Amino acid sequence: MLHVGEQRFFDRVAAEAQSHDVVLVEGVRSRTVWFLTRAYRWLPLKRLGLVTQGRISPPQGGAEVIHADISPDEFERLWRALPWWQRFAFAAAGLAYGAWLRLSASRASIARRQSTTDLPDRGIALAHDTPVGGFFSVILHARDAHLAGVLAAELGKARGRPVRIAVVYGAAHMPAVLAELRAHGGFRPVESEWLEVIRL
C-alpha cells in the first residue's frame, strides 16, 4: 500500500482486499502518530488531484477485517522509550518535511520517491546503531513483528484448507510479510500485478 495516490487506485485495492477471506490492516490511533504523519495531510492534495488512503470496510457478509497493528498504548510506550531529544528531532523533521511538501510537491515528485523491493532496505539496515535506527524500531520493526505474529496465527487457523489473506500495509512492511510467509511453510510469490497509483 502507498498512502497517497489517486482515488481509483484505493478503490481497486479495497475491492481486491474485500474479495479475500481475511484482510489484515494497519493503523495506530494515537496523537503521536497523528503528529508524525501530518506531512501527508499537508500535501496540496486537491491541487494535485490526489487523496490519502482511507479505511477498508468489509461489505455485508464479506471479508473479516483484522486490525493487525500494535495498540496505541504499546506504540506510545515504545515512543516514550526513545531519548527526548530524538523524539523532538523527529517531530521537528516531520514538521519541516510537511512544510516543504506543501510548497513544492508535484505528482512526479511524489511518485519518484515511491519504490520498494522484497529485499531488506539498505538505508534501514545501516541505520541500526544510529538515532534513526531507534525511530525505525518503533515505527517499523515493532509493528512488523506484531504483523508477522498475526499473519502466522491466521495461517495456523487455516490448517491446510485454502484461505485468501490480504495484507493491506505500507510498502515498507512487505519484506517482513514475505519473510514470514517464507518461514511459515515455504510460501513463495507465484504471480504479481501492477496497479497504477499516480498518472503522470
* 56-67: pLDDT as tens digits: 776 666 789 999
Q: Model's pTM, two decimal places? A: 0.87
* 35-46: pLDDT as tens digits: 888 888 889 999
The answer to whether residue 183 scores a pLDDT higher than 90 is: no
Query: In this predicted structure, what is the pLDDT of residue 75?
Result: 95
Task: Give dist(CA 160, CA 112) in Å, integer.
Answer: 41
What torsion, rounded to 10 degrees, do the Cα atoms 84, 76, 145, 130 define? -10
Pull the grid cell for residue 153.
496465527
Q: In the structure, what pLDDT confidence band is assigned to residue 120 with cuts at 50, 70 and 90?
A: low
* 60-90: pLDDT as tens digits: 667 899 999 999 999 999 999 999 998 998 8
